[in-house]
């Protein structure tokens, strides 16, 4: 099968920019809990862009890879085509769990048990026909202290598919059954399922603080920031203040007409280009005026810019929450006494998705209308054949894309 790959970096040698398409063997069921999924679409995220551009932090991560070259891509949707014996039982249980909230599926399963369903010869073809699937691509050990506490998102032995092991930018991907999520027929469009991994990051960030009826700021209006705005609105945020910064290749006009316009579609009340001193000051003045000089209850940092940390300091209320998803480069100085301790600020570092709490939260939001809203507003801007992946990265580089799907 064709697969988009990146070689494992070797110390002392140049790590080549970009990706390659090569022929790789199709994955096979080797363990009892293996599931093979035929990929409908893989989505591009910021991590993939960083791997493409040989970002130093990702070089460090990919040096730990257990395959070489690594099939990249960790956002995808598809249909299950094969599963091991143990995996079949796990998948049958998932189907019955899904049926609890789906009367149509309850009818189909009437008078059956999970064990009986798993043993049916037609189970795999029935799954393939009736369900789309994706997977949590952080594969955790289940035995470390964090996993035993129910904190799998910070498992210290995490293997990330598409970074440390083969991912989803190919015709087929292999995942453990316990990581699979199932969606009956078209309860959520497969285009949306393709980037639920990324949407989960935004959902985890927003849900790290009380949002309903509160004032929040989203710092950074890229793909993750836009999703955070939409999630915050559907979660009941009162006011949403948004920032981003224009630059030479991405002008103020383009920022306003594209990202800020979509941000307002998703629920932003005010948007500010903080590369312009007057707008940066207007951010603070607007927040203080509209919150009785109090500040926002939570600030969600989605940009990976230390300058955004300074903006958060100026608009976050005492006792507020500062949640950080964006990954900055280098280091910065922070006055902990003034900005955190005496202000009573709670700081959250956000990594991945809480398994499976975050998945349940975003599934609920998507079914409540978020999925339709994302599709209607054209959040998926490009669907491109996998062998034309360079076109996809060009669109992202030029600021002409939000979510881009690669089709095998």
For the stretch 342-354, pLDDT in tens is 999 999 999 999 9
| Residue 362: inside a domain | no
Q: Is residue 216 part of a domain?
A: yes
Question: In terms of domains, do 292 and 381 share one?
Answer: no
Both 142 and 287 in a single domain?
A: no
Averaged confidence pLDDT in the chain: 96
Does position 130 have pLDDT exceeding 90, yes or no?
yes
Q: pLDDT class for 196, splitting at 50, 70, 90?
A: very high
Return the number of other C-beta atoms located less than 10 Å from residue 194's C-beta: 28
- In the predicted model, is pLDDT for residue 312 greater than 90? yes
User: How large is the average pLDDT for residues 246-250?
Assistant: 88
* Inside any domain, residue 150: yes
Task: Report pLDDT for 57.
Answer: 86
Q: Are residues 84 and 227 in the same domain?
A: no
Could you write out the DSSP letters of every residue in 258-289? IIIHHHHHTT-SEEEETTSHHHHHHHHHHHHH
Judged against a pLDDT cut of 90, whether residue 398 lies above it is answered with: no
Asked if residue 257 and residue 128 are part of one domain, the reply reads: no
Q: Could you tell me if 167 and 245 lie in one domain?
A: no
Residues 64 and 124 in one domain: yes
SS3 call for 32: coil
User: In terms of domains, do 252 and 185 share one?
Assistant: no
One domain, residues 223 and 169: no
Q: What is the mean pLDDT of residues 368-396?
A: 96
Domain hosting 8: range is: 2-194+377-407
Note whether 258 and 112 are same-domain residues: no
Domain count, the chain: 2
DSSP result, 230-246: HHHHHTT-SEEEEEE--
Residue 357 included in any domain: no
Looking at the structure, tell me whether residues 157 and 19 fall in a common domain: yes
What number is the average pLDDT over the span 226-254?
Answer: 96
What pTM does this model have? 0.94
384 is a domain residue: yes
Phi and psi dihedrals of 407, rounded to 5?
A: -105, 120
In a shared domain, residues 280 and 391: no
- Distance between first and last Cα of the chain: 10
Assess whether 98 and 125 both reside in one domain: yes
Determine contact, residues 221/274, Cβ cutoff 8 Å: no
Rounded Cα distance, 309 and 219, in Å: 9
Whether the predicted pLDDT of 400 surpasses 90: no
Q: What is the mean pLDDT of residues 223-251?
A: 96
The least confident of 43-57, 214-228, 262-276 is 43-57
In a domain, residue 365? The reply is: no
CATH classification of the domain holding 260: 3.40.50.720
Interior/surface letters 233-257, b for 16+ CB within 10 angstroms, e for the rest: bbbebbbbbbbbbbeeebeeeebee
Q: Tell whether 355 is covered by a domain.
A: no
Does 208 reside within a domain?
Answer: yes
Q: 105: domain CATH number?
A: 3.90.180.10
| pLDDT score of 318 more than 90 | yes
């Amino acid at each position: 099968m064709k697969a988009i790959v990146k070689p494992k970096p070797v110390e002392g040698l140049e790590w080549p920019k970009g990706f390659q398409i090569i022929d790789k063997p199709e994955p096979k069921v080797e363990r009892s809990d293996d599931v093979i999924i035929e990929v409908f679409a893989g989505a591009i995220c910021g991590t993939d862009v960083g791997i493409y551009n040989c970002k130093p932090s990702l070089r460090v991560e990919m040096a730990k890879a257990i395959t070489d070259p690594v099939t990249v891509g960790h956002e995808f949707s598809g249909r299950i085509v094969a599963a091991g014996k143990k995996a079949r039982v796990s998948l049958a249980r998932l189907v019955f769990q899904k049926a609890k909230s789906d009367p149509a599926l309850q009818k189909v399963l009437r008078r059956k048990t999970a064990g009986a369903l798993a043993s049916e010869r037609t189970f795999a073809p029935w799954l393939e026909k009736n369900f789309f699937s994706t997977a949590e691509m952080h594969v955790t050990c289940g035995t470390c202290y964090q996993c035993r506490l129910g904190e799998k998102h910070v498992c210290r032995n995490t293997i990330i598919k598409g970074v440390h092991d083969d991912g989803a930018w190919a015709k087929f991907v292999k995942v453990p059954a316990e990581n699979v999520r199932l969606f009956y027929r078209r309860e959520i469009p497969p285009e949306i399922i393709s980037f639920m991994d990324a949407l989960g990051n935004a959902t985890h960030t927003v849900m790290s603080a009380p949002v309903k009826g509160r004032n929040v700021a989203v710092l950074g209006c890229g793909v993750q920031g836009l999703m955070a705005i939409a999630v915050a609105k559907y979660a009941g945020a009162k006011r949403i203040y948004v920032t981003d910064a224009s630059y030479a290749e991405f002008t103020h006009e383009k920022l306003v007409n594209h990202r800020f316009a979509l941000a307002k579609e998703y629920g932003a009340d005010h948007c500010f280009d903080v590369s312009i001193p007057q707008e940066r000051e207007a951010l603070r003045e607007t927040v203080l005026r509209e919150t009785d000089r109090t500040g926002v209850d939570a600030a969600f940092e989605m940009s990976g810019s230390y300058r955004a940390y300074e903006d958060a300091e100026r608009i976050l209320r005492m006792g507020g929450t500062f949640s950080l998803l964006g990954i900055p480069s280098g280091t910065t100085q922070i006055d902990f006494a003034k900005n955190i301790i005496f202000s009573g600020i709670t700081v959250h570092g956000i990594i991945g998705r809480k398994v499976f709490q975050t998945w349940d939260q975003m599934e609920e939001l998507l079914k409540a209308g978020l999925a339709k809203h994302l599709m209607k507003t054209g959040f998926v801007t490009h669907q491109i054949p996998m062998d034309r992946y360079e076109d996809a990265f060009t669109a992202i580089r030029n600021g002409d894309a939000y979510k881009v799907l690669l089709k095998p």
